[in-house]
Amino acid sequence: MKRVAEALGVSRSNMAERAQGKTPSRGPYRERATQGLPPANRKRVHRIMQQHAMLLQRHTGRREGRVHDGKVMVIRSNLRWCSDGLEFNCWNGDVVRMACIIDAFDREIIAWTAVCGAGISGSDIRDMMLEAVEKRFGAVRAPHPVEHLSDNGSPYTAKETKDFAAALNLVPCFTPVKSPESNGMAEAFVKTLKRDYVSYAGIWVTRPIRRRCEPGFR
C-alpha cells in the first residue's frame, strides 16, 4: 500500500480509510474545483462569520440564576453574599485550593473551605453555603432571600448546587462572562490574600486538608 500511495501522491491513512469506507464525502470541494473556484475553508468561514456577529450564541446549559451586572455593595448585612475561589502553591509543592463566602456589606468572611491536592467540588460549595446560613441565621434556611454572587465555575452552576441554594433560600447570581469586576469584592479579597499573606508566609502542608473558618474571621 505504501508504494501505491506514493505513486498516487496520497497518504496511506487516506487509502486505509477509503478501503474501510470511512472517508467522508468531499463532493462540495470537488464541485468547486471543477468550476475553477478556490476551496472553501470551513474554519475561515466560521472566523469571518464570527467577526461579523453572524453566529448564534453558544448554548452553555441551564442558567436560571439571575446574572449580576450592577453594584456589589448593599445597604445592610445578609442581603448579598459574594463567593470566589483561589489556589496557591506550598513550599513542599502541594497545591491548596480554597473558596469563601463574604458578606457584601460588612465584608466578613462568613465561611470558607479548602482542600489540598484536589479541586473544589460542588459538594464543598454546598457545605460552605450551609455553614454560612447556619452561622448567620442559626438555622438551615435563611429567613429571607439572600443573593449569592459568584462566577460561572462548574461547582457554582451545577444543578445540584443551585437546587441546594434554593432550599437554603439563597438566590444564585452569576457574573457576566469575562467580567470579574462584577464580583469585585470577592476578587479584591482574593488578590489581597495572595499578595499580602500567601506570597510572604507560604504554607507547608504535610497532609490533605479540608477545613472551614472560625466565626468572625475577617
CB 98 within 8 A of CB 85: yes
- 169: number of CA atoms within 13 Å, CB side? 15
Q: What angle do CA 27, 33, 38 make, to 5 degrees?
A: 115
Domain ranges of the chain: 2-51, 66-211
CB 148 within 8 A of CB 129: yes
Q: Where are the alpha helices (DSSP H) in the chain?
A: 2-8, 12-19, 27-34, 42-51, 122-137, 154-157, 159-167, 184-193, 199-201
DSSP state for residue 8 in the 8-state scheme? H
Measured CA distances, 75 to 60, 79, 80, 105, 186 (Å):
33, 8, 10, 7, 17
Name the residue among 82, 103, 59, 110 with its Cα closest to residue 174: 82
Largest CA distance in the chain: 80
Homologous superfamily of the 66-211 domain (CATH): Ribonuclease H-like superfamily/Ribonuclease H (3.30.420.10)
Q: What is the pLDDT along the chain (218 residues), one digit of tens a residue?
A: 667 777 777 666 666 666 766 555 556 666 777 777 777 777 888 888 878 778 776 655 555 555 555 566 678 899 999 999 888 888 778 888 999 999 999 989 999 999 988 889 999 999 999 999 999 999 999 999 999 999 888 999 999 999 999 999 999 998 877 666 667 788 888 888 877 777 655 554 444 444 444 444 33
**DSSP string computed for 82-143:** EEEEEEEE-TTS-EEEEEEEEETTT--EEEEEEEESSPPPHHHHHHHHHHHHHHHHSSSS-S
Q: Which residue has the cell 495572595?
A: 194
pTM of the model: 0.60
Name the residue among 142, 153, 171, 164 with its Cα closest to residue 65: 171
Residue 53: what pLDDT? Answer: 75
Cβ atoms within 10 Å, residue 153: 18
Q: Which residue has the cell 464525502?
A: 25
